[in-house]
Amino acid sequence: MEGTEKPMHKSQWAPLVIIGILVVILIALIGPLNTLAFLQSQDRPLLEYLTPQQLMEISNMLAIYVKGRTILAVINMGLLLYLMFLYGGIYRETKSNFSLCLLLLSITLFLYAITSNPIMIWINGFQAASIWNIFNILPDIFTTLASAILIYLSRQ
């Protein structure tokens, strides 16, 4: 069995590209975050004292935020689907506990990506009066489950 193992090819550029993308995203967020800073100087934003232009700016920032979250959630869902199939294939070949945990982790993160996607919240029907909407809680439950799986793997 040892003679059939494939050598792993690691790209030195992949981590740098990922870090570069994250830096660009953070730089792009600096403007909206600074714009919201003046609203957070008090306990809550006093929307009733804002001008219509300021309210329009906030509305535009929220629209960009929702679009960005939706795009990232769809990208994450695609990547996690790929990982689920990859780890599923590895588990079928090896039947190892580690690959099973990686499969469960990717499934859990996929469920997180689905439930945190603004499209799913919109389809479910956002109820502004109800803070206990299921989509407010489910992503955190899946994050907790993913963390527990990683702790289990680390303790093995």
Tokens read off for 106:
């990717």
Q: Is residue 7 part of a domain?
A: no
Q: Is residue 6 part of a domain?
A: no
Q: How far is CA 61 from CA 21, 35, 79, 117, in A?
A: 21, 9, 27, 17
Instruction: Please write the tens of the pLDDT for every residue from 51-104.
Output: 888 888 888 888 888 888 888 888 888 888 998 999 999 999 999 888 888 898
Q: How many domains does the chain have?
A: 1
Q: Which domain holds residue 137?
A: 12-33+47-155
Report field, pTM of the whole predicted structure over 0.85: no
Cβ 120 vs Cβ 135: under 8 Å:
yes
